[in-house]
Amino acid sequence: MQNFLHTFFDPNVMARYLPDVLSGMMVAIWIGAAVVVAGVTAGLALACLRTYRIAICDVFIICFADIFRALPPLVLILLLYFGLPGVGVRLSGPVVLFVVLSLTLAAFAEEIFWAGFSSIEKGQWEAGISTGLGFGGTLVYVALPQAVRLAIPPLVNRVLAITKMTALGSVIGVLEILSAATTAQSFSGSATPLSLAAIAYLVLFLPLVFAARMFERRREQSLGR
């Protein structure tokens, strides 16, 4: 037991590397927040565009969604970070991480929102259009709110899965939680910084999981079920 605590929760090591892990947490929060905003917005915009059923746009959107859902983000990160300088484009680690995770989230979010739109019955559109709201008005006031509500539970899961992938920044030198912890681990020779990292991820993500649960419960109540 003593040994276990010493390995994973050494107080001296904790005190020493806490600031590093905390600053890694800030980096993860910034990049994660930017990814969520950009990825969800782009995904929603693409799903809305798809409701117009313009053939050429649909082909583009479907290809985008399928490719970026199929590719492992790590592959893309390495490709952009180590490949692009070869053609004269040099992006910083955080930018590469942001771009790749945003595109990945956008691809998944588009499919999730589109599934939401698809499950709205045709009558809802007809009701909106027959009351003079037009396609655009019906999209914004009738279909979108319903699609978003349907999308939220799977979207939250996907958002959590992808924001956790900020840890992939550690392979291209982004100083987020995991790279701060692995650096500390190799300096200190203790696993404690990695425990700190695990705790940091819990502190970051558990409240989001709880918030999602609360939201889901409120939604069920508001629909009068």
Partner 1 sequence: MVSRPMLEIVSLQKCFGDNVILRDINLKVAQGELVFIIGPSGSGKSTMLRCCNRLEEPSGGDVIVDGRNIMSGTRRDLDLMRLKVGMVFQGFHLYPHMSVLNNVTLAQRKAMGRTAEEAKARAMDMLERVGLAHKADAMPAQLSGGQQQRVAIARALALDPLVMLFDEPTSALDPELVGSVLAVMKDLKAKGMTMLVVSHEMGFARETADRVIFMDGGVVVEEGAPDEIFGAPKAERTQAFLSRVTR
CA 42 to chain centre: 12
CB closer to partner 1 out of 92 and 124: 124
Task: Report residue 6 as tokens.
Answer: 């010493």
CB closer to partner 1 out of 92 and 130: 130
CB closer to partner 1 out of 83 and 137: 137
CB closer to partner 1 out of 88 and 123: 123
Q: Rounded distance, CA 147 to CA 186, Å?
A: 47
CB closer to partner 1 out of 133 and 160: 133
Q: Find the radius of gyration of the CA atoms of the chain.
A: 21
CB of 79 to partner 1, least distance (A): 42
**Residues whose CB falls within 8 Å of the CB of residue 114, separated by 6 or more in sequence, listed in order:** 47, 50
CB of 146 to partner 1, least distance (A): 5
CB of 46 to partner 1, least distance (A): 22
Which residue is it, tokens 């920044």? Answer: 169
CB closer to partner 1 out of 98 and 117: 117
Q: What is the 3-state secondary structure (H, E, C) of 180-219?
A: HHHHHHHHHCCCHHHHHHHHHHHHHHHHHHHHHHHHHHHH
CB of 127 to partner 1, least distance (A): 4
Q: Rounded distance, CA 192 to CA 8, Å?
A: 4
CB of 151 to partner 1, least distance (A): 13
CB of 115 to partner 1, least distance (A): 17
Three-class SS of residue 159?
A: helix
The DSSP letter of residue 166 is G
- Rule CB under 8 A: which residues touch partner 1? 121, 123-124, 126-134, 137, 141-142, 145-146, 149, 222-225
Interaxial angle between packed helices 93-118 and 11-51, expressed in degrees from 0 to 180 and rounded to the nearest 10: 50
